Amino acid sequence: MEEPETGSLQDLVRGRQLASSRVAVVEVAKAVVRANPDADPQPVFALLAFVELDADLASVAGATGGAGLHALDAIHVASTLRLGDEVDGFVTYDERQADAARAVGLHVHAPDPRQPS
pTM: 0.89
Per-residue pLDDT tens for 69-81? 999 999 999 999 9
The upper half-sphere exposure of residue 111, i.e. CA atoms within 13 Å in the direction of its Cβ, equals 17
Cα–Cα distance measured from residue 75 to residue 8, given in angstroms and rounded to the nearest whole number:
25
Domain 6-109 CATH (choose: 3.40.50, 3.30.70, 1.10.620, 2.40.30): 3.40.50
Cα–Cα distance measured from residue 34 to residue 47, given in angstroms and rounded to the nearest whole number:
22
Per-residue pLDDT tens for 20-53? 999 999 999 999 999 999 999 999 899 999 999 9
Cα–Cα distance measured from residue 108 to residue 87, given in angstroms and rounded to the nearest whole number:
11
Q: Are 73 and 66 in contact (CB under 8 A)?
A: no
Any idea where the domains of the chain sit in the sequence? Answer: 6-109
**One-letter-per-residue 3-state SS of 21-58:** ECHHHHHHHHHHHHHCCCCCCHHHHCCEEEECCCHHHH
